Amino acid sequence: MTMVLAFVLTLGVLIVVHEYAHYRVAVACGVKVQRFSIGFGRVLWRRQPRPGGTEFVLSALPLGGYVRWIDDREFPPISPAERAYTFGAKPLWQRAAIVAAGPVSNLLLAVVLYGAAHWIGVDEPKALLAAPPAGSLAEQAGLRAGELVTAVGVPEAGQPDPEWTDVRSMTDLRWELTQAAVRGERLHLRVADRSGHGSRTATLALDRLGSREIDAGMARRIGVGQPYSEPVMGEVKPGGAAAQAGLKEGDRVLRVDGRPVADGLSVRERVRDSVLPDGSAARQVWTVERQGRLMELVVQPRVATEGSKRIGRIEAYVGRPPEMVNVRYGVLEGLAQGAERTVEVSVLTLKMLGRMLIGEASLRNLSGPLTIADYAGQSVQQGLAYYLGFLALVSVSLGVLNLLPLPMLDGGHLMYYIFEAVTGRPVAGVWLRWLQGGGALIMLLLMSLALYNDVARLLGLH
């Protein structure tokens, strides 16, 4: 129920802001608006404050909305007295402003939402690194468990030293990693020990990554992003493999099969990788410390299936909660950070769409309403600041998507107006019908693909 309510609230806020911006700019330009609708299909509720004025309605299908104004081409015949109030009678710049108002409002809303999340502040994992997986870029760069990342830098062309950006949390680090991976650029990390001393520089060769998907597989190949956690046993489920081996909550794991472990992630990876070629899981000898005493316990992981892969499980969590840091900004700094993040997400979205278009990124990266609903529910449970950040992310995506030069979208209409500005005449009606039909087909295909990806993720097929 929380997921459904969060999803409806997310769509409701973004749709109202988008359509209300169209409506307000249209009214300001002297266009007569007949209907302002949230949703499509059968009308559930309607209100018309004054006779002949705009009708405000709530419709059954809440996956969008629309603003209907009078227009010579769509609502003939128009009386001579009303012709001056039609959309088509307005100057080109006013028509463009009315159409652009929706997506621009979503981008401005994202700035405010990101700013508000920064004002509230969130507790985020400190940028303490977990042990890098074997063969990962992090291991090749010499990064070690427990090191603190204090800044990141991307080398500029012709400059010997990168421009450094401070890292305040693991969330900041993951964001910088994602951007650099999409751009295919090397990323320099300034790291120190847990207390911030002994600073040195390491370089992640993300330009050699060659990944088509921003997914968990890519994250493992990079080897950075999981926060450090001490190798201490957490909850142990009764009757599970860990409980049968005699492990208890609070045990500190020192070695697995005689090999020292660096952190909780290292132990979890050893368990996952315990499956043998014949499909069974190998026994492991764990050396643990319990109340100052050393003990050796034989652990027999159980085999489980994760997607198409067989992994080991012990029905217990290994690792203490990561060290947290509160990230909060002042009013002006928060808005500035919100504007910067909005620009960064917009550019990243366009780059990912471009890479998918030319085949450099997988179409599996495209997400739909089920993924949005899932993330909306998760962010609400994490707190208001997290939900505002998620809402801002979706708002940016909606704004960027609507500015794409595709028929049926606001960006497509803006392309018509650019054509009109260059040629001095509007797009011919027959071309409009063909373009709108083609645009509708493209949108249907994209929505179907996004929904398929959502279902595949939920079923563990991706």
Distance CA 47, CA 44 (A): 11
Can you say how many angstroms the Cα of residue 415 is from the centroid of all Cα atoms in its chain? 28
| 78 and 171 co-located in one domain | no
| DSSP state letter for 240 | S
Distance CA 332, CA 340 (A): 12
Residue 354: what pLDDT? Answer: 77
Q: Write the CATH number for 250.
A: 2.30.42.10
Residue 413: what pLDDT? Answer: 87
131 domain residue, yes or no: no
Which of 201, 222, 243 is a domain's end point? 222
Closest CA to 459 of 305, 332, 254, 311: 305
User: pLDDT (tens digit, 9 = 90+) per residue, 317-327?
Assistant: 999 888 888 88
Task: State whether the Cα torsion 235-241-242-246 is positive or negative.
Answer: positive
228 domain residue, yes or no: no
| 239 and 209 co-located in one domain | no
How many structural domains is the chain composed of?
A: 4
Which of 274, 301, 320 is a domain's end point? 320
Boundaries of domain holding 74? 30-89
| 395 and 444 co-located in one domain | yes
| 218 and 161 co-located in one domain | yes
Segment (H or E) for 42? strand 33-47
Task: State whether the Cα torsion 359-364-368-371 is positive or negative.
Answer: negative
Sheet holding 200-204, edge to edge: 163-166, 148-154, 187-192, 200-204
* Residues with catalytic roles: 19
Predicted TM-score of the model (pTM): 0.73
Pairing mode of beta strands 200-204, 252-256: unpaired
| 200 and 241 co-located in one domain | no
268 domain residue, yes or no: yes
Distance CA 375, CA 76 (A): 45
| CA distances from residue 249 to 246, 314, 315, 320 in whole angstroms, order as listed | 10, 13, 12, 10
| 338 and 461 co-located in one domain | yes
Distance CA 89, CA 51 (A): 23
104 domain residue, yes or no: yes
Distance CA 275, CA 282 (A): 6
| 274 and 216 co-located in one domain | no
127 domain residue, yes or no: no
Token pair for residue 77? Answer: 């015949």
| 105 and 22 co-located in one domain | yes
Torsion angle in degrees (nearest 10) through CA of 34, 36, 41, 43: -90
| 448 and 400 co-located in one domain | yes
| 243 and 366 co-located in one domain | no
Residue 454: what pLDDT? Answer: 58
Residue 258: what pLDDT? Answer: 92
Identify the segments of the chain with pLDDT beneath 70.
1-4, 72-77, 156-160, 210-217, 358-381, 439, 443, 446-447, 449-462
Residue 375: what pLDDT? Answer: 59
132 domain residue, yes or no: no
Determine phi and psi for 317, rounding to 5 degrees.
-105, 135
Q: Using the structure block, give the residue that is written with the tokens 């059968």.
A: 42
Task: State whether the Cα torsion 162-166-172-173 is positive or negative.
Answer: positive
460 domain residue, yes or no: yes
Residue 368: what pLDDT? Answer: 56
| CA distances from residue 53 to 33, 44, 153 in whole angstroms, order as listed | 8, 19, 56
Residue 362: what pLDDT? Answer: 63
| 438 and 460 co-located in one domain | yes
Which of 222, 250, 279 is a domain's end point? 222
| CA distances from residue 86 to 51, 425, 426, 441 in whole angstroms, order as listed | 18, 18, 16, 28
Residue 350: what pLDDT? Answer: 84
CA within 13 Å, CB half, 52: 1
Token pair for residue 53? Answer: 């004025």
| CA distances from residue 266 to 83, 93, 232 in whole angstroms, order as listed | 72, 60, 11
Whether omega for the bond prior to residue 77 falls within 30 degrees of 0, making it cis, is yes
| 259 and 309 co-located in one domain | yes
Closest CA to 128 of 163, 182, 162, 172: 172
| DSSP state letter for 251 | P
Can you say how many angstroms the Cα of residue 347 is from the centroid of all Cα atoms in its chain? 13
Residue 380: what pLDDT? Answer: 62
Distance CA 124, CA 323 (A): 8
46 domain residue, yes or no: yes
Distance CA 431, CA 428 (A): 5
